[in-house]
Amino acid sequence: VLQNGTSMPLRFEVKVDLSDIHETAKERWLTISEIEALLNLSTTVLPIQTQRPTLPPPSGTLILYNRSATRDYKNDGHHWTKKRNSKKIREDHVKLRVEGVKRIAGCYVHHEMIPSFHRRGYHLLNPETGMAVVTPKIPGMKGSNRNLKDENKAEELPSLILIHYLDTVQAQAQAAKRASMTYNANTEARAKNQMMGSGGALVTQHSSALGLAPLAQSDTTDAGAEKKDSNKRRKLEGQSSGEPKSNMLHSTPNGIQDFINMIQPQSGQISSHENNDCSQQMLDQGMA
């Protein structure tokens, strides 16, 4: 919030995912967008602390302080490098810019006994002046601001500062461990997907090995051949039904009569009486 009461927008209005910010803080320093989001009351996921920690914070710790309520937040139990020939802690001050505009002020200190351990503090800057953001009084907020005169005794917003502790050696090891876990998980998932994708091919191969697919094709072929043979057999039987067979003599009298006519001499030497006797005799034999 600026002095004129308008809110200061985040960098390019970019939405930052802060769901895994604590794990990220253990592996690297935060980006400008992440710092801005954590210092913004509408987007921060960190609770505002009003008391300093009782134990020295470890690497990867993120703490959001209200500087107006916690003025001794720098007394965190760590031994920081001091200025030469002085008891004061050496602080390196920087200003982070976005497109040439000063947006964040940083204060860096370094551990006295662990060269890779550092503490960084961040607070927002007014992009119009490049100075620290002065928060106006807003009704409904607790606290007081002596720098602003307000006859209605409205209450102020907290003056936020973000503190980040990080051991760069531990951060590299943590990042490598997380990358290894992610790679193993992705490899396992990829192998599982390949197995699931090749399931259909494996079933086909097993079916071929068991002869299931050829069996179905053979059944169809055999059924067609059987039908074809049946039709051929019926056709042959139909053709042979017109030919004289010996068993027809035992079925009908007409067959006997035809046989008699076939063997009867054309000269007519057999009389009709003999013909009848012969017919009766052949009929009796056929009946027998």
Q: What is the pLDDT of residues 184-232, one digit of tens each?
A: 989 988 888 888 876 555 555 555 555 555 444 444 555 566 666 677 6
pLDDT at 200: 54
* Burial (CB count <10 Å: 0-12, 13-18, 19+), residue 54: exposed
Structure tokens at 242: 């017109």
Over residues 236-256, the mean pLDDT reads 52
pLDDT at 231: 73
CA-to-CA distance for 118 and 89, rounded, in angstroms? 13
Q: What's the pLDDT tens digit per position in 113-126?
A: 999 999 999 999 98
How do beta strands 101-110 and 92-98 pair?
antiparallel
How do beta strands 48-49 and 62-66 pair?
parallel
CA-to-CA distance for 227 and 242, rounded, in angstroms? 24
pLDDT at 268: 46
* Largest Cα–Cα separation, the chain: 166
State pTM to two decimals. 0.58
Proportion of the chain in helix, strand, coil states, percent, rounded to 5: 40, 15, 40
Q: What's the pLDDT tens digit per position in 8-37?
A: 544 445 678 899 999 999 999 999 999 999
DSSP letters, 146-187, are TTS--TT--EEPP-EEEEEEEEHHHHHHHHHHHHHHHHHHHH
pLDDT at 10: 47
